[in-house]
Structures are given as structure tokens and as C-alpha cells.
């Protein structure tokens, strides 16, 4: 049986791309997808009240998990929108207040941050790209220099989605607070993986996404400590205090509330479990492919992501071989799959284009098993051999 057809043979190690909806989340959402509780949360009548109450409860659950106030939770359509609202909305608010129209973002941010910062440039502002070390850590000297120039906002992600680097968010947020500017962190890959709350540092804006933690795709949140730090990007009804107008995705918000609560409650166990599997995978890959290298291994990494550079291969060809054997993983980020450009994250860490284009990401969740790791090791060494032969033969032809 073709392993991609036989679901018992399938291995899913791409949880940084997305996760299945958890049963507890689906159950909590169900009433809001039926004709039981369908009201508009802004309606004052009987149909609106339960929807409004459900939104309030979801805000409470999220706020309590990330040590924020319920009114600080702004629901969005996901991490991408939350990042755009933070970076672009933050820069526009600064411009309106006569402060510098300039944002400082790390070179390894998700495209949602980088491209929002590029819009600032297109609108006549500036973007300062903060370099990172070989382990993916932002250079504090570069942050100091950027803050001295005057910036509207500093945005550095908590955990990198491609190779797991963890930033010293507390130190960065302190630097921003000392300069009296907002600090934004994309915590999409941090929540439920490492300790991560608004109480850990003077964070102004924090991005969350539902589908990385067992809620559906299309729901996320921006935790906003100071609404003055933002200019809305959407305009319309006055929902969510006008920061993000539009009738709220009630079912999605309910699902996000439950997912965030579960992810936070299970964080320590998920951290232990995924670290054990990840470390085992990395050790055994190095044993069977000795010249493979784990990207950023010398630095502090979140436990659920592993990016492995395998010299002489090509990540897209390797992913195809693994997929044929029923193994789902990715090159860099899922949004970059299919692109031929080497990962901006890995090249910013100093990897050559060739090595960055020969890197594969495996990412774990609480539901991953030792069998998943065994299966990768059954398939990977031969797949590497085949891809190396292919790449070498193509090289001979040119």
C-alpha cells in the first residue's frame, strides 16, 4: 500500500506549519456553529447575549493564560493579521503622533512582520533590519544602535518558526521600555512550548495564532497592553474598541480560548515530551548521516522544532522523497514551500545558500510519538542517498 494513502503509515512532523483541531476545542466551538447560539455579539437582544458572553469568556481564558487583562485581547484572523496590526498599526500611530516613522525588526522574523515593515518603507518610512548571530539570537548592540536612531516600534519574535531560536525577550522588552517605545513579539511558536506570558517582560504587543495550538485556521489574537500604541488597519463598525472592527469570529474565538488554556496548562509536559523526541531524532540523524548539522544547535532553542542541514541535498527533493514514504515535514516555513529562494532565516544566521537550500524542518507536538521518529530514521538515510545522487548528476550535466 502506498504509505501516503495508508493513514496508519503516515507521519506528521510539521506541527510548526499547522496542527489538527483538538477534540476539546471542537466540542467547545460546536454550539456556536449550530443554530443554538448564532447571535451577533454586538446585538443587545437574547440572541446576541450568549455570543457576547462567549467572547468575554474566551478573552478571560486567554488573558489568564498569558497574564494579561481580558480587555487587552484583540481577536484577529490569525497570526499574520496580528503581526500586521502590530507593526504597521504601531508605525502609523507613531507617525500620527509625530514620532519617528521607522521600525526595527529582526532579520529572522516571519514574513508577516518583515513584509509589514516593508510597507512602512513604501509609505515613506524606514525599516531597520537587526542582524542575528549564528544561533539566531538578535545582536543587542544592533538593537541599541537602532533605538538611538529613534524608532516607532521594536519587533522581535519570541521563538523562530524555522529553527526554534528563542530570543531574550525580557532583555529586549526592557531596552524598548527604557527608550519609551512599544515592544512587539510574535509568540505564535512560543505559546505552549516555552514559558511565555506578558508578565515575563514589559511587552506591549504579543501575537498569537490558533492553528498552531489545536484551534482552527483563521483565528488569532493580538494582546495589546496599550491601545494608544496602535492605529487600526481596518475601518468599519466599532467592535473591539475600533482597534480591529468587524463582527467577531465567535466560534473561532471560543476555540482559541480553549486551545490557549490547554496549551498553557500542558506546556511543561509538552516541552518535556517534544524535547525528548526532538533530541532523539537529531542524535539518530547525525549517527546515520554524519555530515548533517542541526541549525542553531549551539544556542537556546524551543523544544518542538528541529532544522537539519544535509549537505549535498536539496530540501524540496528531500521533502518529496519523504512525502512519498508518508512523512510530512517542511523546508523552512510552510508558506515558503515551493519557493526556490533559500530561507531568509538560515542565510541571516550565516548559512550558505547551498546549505540553507538543503535544510529540512521537523516539528513536534504533544501528540507526536517515538514511532514517528523511528519512521523518519527508516526512510531518511536512503532518501538522502537518492537525493545526493540526483543532485550530483544534475551538477555533472551543467
Ligand X SMILES: Cc1ncc(COP(=O)(O)O)c(C=O)c1O
Residues 177-216 that bind ligand X (CB under 6 A): 186, 188-189, 209, 211
CB 108 within 8 A of CB 95: no
Is the Cβ of residue 28 or residue 256 nearer to ligand X in the bound state?
256
Is the Cβ of residue 87 or residue 292 nearer to ligand X in the bound state?
87
d(CA 91, CA 231): 8
Does residue 157 interact with ligand X by CB under 6 A? yes
Least spacing, CB of residue 48 vs ligand X, in Å: 27
**CA quadruple 363, 368, 372, 374: dihedral positive or negative?**
positive
Identify which range of 74-82, 121-129, 256-264, 338-346 contacts ligand X by CB under 6 A: 74-82
Fill in the per-residue mask, 332 to 371: x = in contact with ligand X (CB under 6 A), - = not in contact: -x-x------------------------------------
Q: Which contacts (CB < 8 Å, 24+ apart) does range 272-277 have?
A: 272/303, 273/364, 273/366, 273/368, 274/193, 274/303, 274/304, 274/364, 274/365, 274/366, 274/368, 275/303, 277/364, 277/368, 277/369, 277/370, 277/372, 277/373
Is the Cβ of residue 218 or residue 311 nearer to ligand X in the bound state?
218
Least spacing, CB of residue 211 vs ligand X, in Å: 6
Is the Cβ of residue 143 or residue 156 nearer to ligand X in the bound state?
156
CB 365 within 8 A of CB 302: no
Least spacing, CB of residue 82 vs ligand X, in Å: 8
- Going by C-alpha positions, the residue among 318, 293, 295, 305 that lies closest to residue 381 is 318
Is the Cβ of residue 82 or residue 325 nearer to ligand X in the bound state?
82
3-state DSSP assignment of residue 73: strand
Is 335 considered catalytic here?
yes
E strands present in 159-284: 183-186, 205-209, 220-224
Fill in the per-residue mask, 80 to 109: x = in contact with ligand X (CB under 6 A), - = not in contact: x--x--------------------------
Least spacing, CB of residue 172 vs ligand X, in Å: 16
CB 105 within 8 A of CB 114: yes
Least spacing, CB of residue 325 vs ligand X, in Å: 25
Identify which range of 79-87, 138-146, 246-254, 313-321 contacts ligand X by CB under 6 A: 79-87
Could you write out the DSSP letters of every residue in 31-54? GGGSSSS---TT--STTHHHHHHH
Catalytic residue among 335, 354, 377, 390: 335
3-state DSSP assignment of residue 224: strand
Tally the residues of the chain: 398
Least spacing, CB of residue 36 vs ligand X, in Å: 27
- Distance, first Cα to last Cα, the chain: 37
Q: Which one of residues 161, 167, 274, 306 is an interface residue with ligand X (CB under 6 A)?
A: 161
3-state DSSP assignment of residue 144: helix
Does residue 110 interact with ligand X by CB under 6 A? yes
Is the Cβ of residue 188 or residue 254 nearer to ligand X in the bound state?
188
Q: Which one of residues 15, 65, 75, 78 is an interface residue with ligand X (CB under 6 A)?
A: 78
Least spacing, CB of residue 164 vs ligand X, in Å: 11
- The three-point CA angle 395-386-275 to 5° equals 115
Residue linked to cell 524608532: 151
Does residue 14 interact with ligand X by CB under 6 A? no
Q: Which one of residues 90, 125, 182, 220 is an interface residue with ligand X (CB under 6 A)?
A: 220
CB 249 within 8 A of CB 257: no
Is the Cβ of residue 59 or residue 184 nearer to ligand X in the bound state?
184
Least spacing, CB of residue 92 vs ligand X, in Å: 20
3-state DSSP assignment of residue 267: helix
Is the Cβ of residue 224 or residue 325 nearer to ligand X in the bound state?
224
Q: Which one of residues 79, 125, 232, 296 is an interface residue with ligand X (CB under 6 A)?
A: 79
Per CB under 6 A, residues contacting ligand X are 78-80, 83, 110, 112, 157, 161, 186, 188-189, 209, 211, 220, 333, 335
Q: Which residues are catalytic?
A: 335
Amino acid at each position: 500500500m502506498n504509505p501516503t494513502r495508508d493513514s496508519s503509515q503516515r507521519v506528521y512532523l510539521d506541527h510548526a506549519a499547522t496542527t489538527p483541531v483538538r477534540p476539546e476545542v471542537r466540542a467547545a466551538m460546536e454550539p456556536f456553529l449550530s443554530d443554538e447560539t448564532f447571535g451577533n455579539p454586538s446585538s443587545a437582544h437574547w440572541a446576541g447575549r450568549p455570543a457576547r458572553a462567549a467572547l468575554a469568556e474566551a478573552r478571560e481564558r486567554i488573558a489568564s493564560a498569558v497574564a494579561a487583562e481580558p480587555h487587552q485581547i484583540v481577536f484577529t484572523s490569525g497570526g499574520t493579521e496580528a503581526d500586521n496590526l502590530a507593526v504597521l498599526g504601531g508605525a502609523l500611530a507613531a507617525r500620527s503622533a509625530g514620532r519617528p516613522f521607522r521600525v526595527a525588526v529582526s532579520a529572522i522574523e516571519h514574513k508577516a512582520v518583515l513584509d509589514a515593515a516593508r510597507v512602512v518603507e513604501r509609505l515613506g518610512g524606514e525599516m531597520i533590519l537587526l542582524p542575528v548571530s549564528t544561533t539566531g539570537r538578535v545582536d543587542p548592540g544592533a538593537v541599541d544602535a537602532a533605538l538611538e536612531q529613534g524608532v516607532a516600534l521594536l519587533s522581535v519574535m519570541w521563538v523562530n518558526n524555522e529553527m526554534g531560536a528563542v530570543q531574550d525577550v525580557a532583555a529586549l522588552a526592557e531596552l524598548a521600555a527604557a527608550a519609551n517605545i512599544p515592544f512587539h513579539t510574535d509568540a505564535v511558536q512560543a505559546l505552549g512550548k516555552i514559558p511565555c506570558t506578558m508578565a515575563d517582560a514589559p511587552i506591549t504587543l504579543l501575537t498569537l495564532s490558533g492553528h498552531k495550538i489545536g484551534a482552527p485556521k483563521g483565528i488569532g489574537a493580538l494582546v495589546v497592553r496599550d491601545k494608544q500604541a496602535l492605529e487600526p488597519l481596518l475601518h468599519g463598525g466599532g467592535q473591539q474598541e475600533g482597534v480591529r472592527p468587524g463582527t467577531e469570529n465567535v466560534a473561532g474565538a471560543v476555540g482559541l480560548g480553549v486551545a490557549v488554556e490547554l496549551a498553557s496548562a500542558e506546556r511543561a509536559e509538552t516541552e518535556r515530551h517534544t524535547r525528548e523526541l526532538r533530541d532523539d531524532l537529531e542524535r539518530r540523524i547525525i549517527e546515520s548521516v554524519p555530515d548533517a548539522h542541526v541549525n542553531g544547535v549551539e544556542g537556546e532553542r524551543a523544544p518542538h522544532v528541529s532544522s537539519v542541514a544535509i549537505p549535498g541535498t536539496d530540501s524540496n527533493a528531500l521533502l518529496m522523497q519523504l512525502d512519498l514514504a508518508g512523512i510530512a515535514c517542511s523546508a523552512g516555513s510552510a508558506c515558503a514551500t515551493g519557493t526556490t529562494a533559500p530561507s531568509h532565516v538560515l542565510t541571516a544566521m550565516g548559512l550558505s545558500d547551498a546549505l540553507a537550500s538543503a535544510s529540512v524542518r521537523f516539528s513536534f507536538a504533544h501528540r507526536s510519538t517515538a514511532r514517528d521518529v523511528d519512521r523518519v530514521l527508516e526512510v531518511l538515510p536512503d532518501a538522502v542517498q537518492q537525493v545526493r545522487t540526483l543532485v550530483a548528476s544534475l551538477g555533472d550535466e551543467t
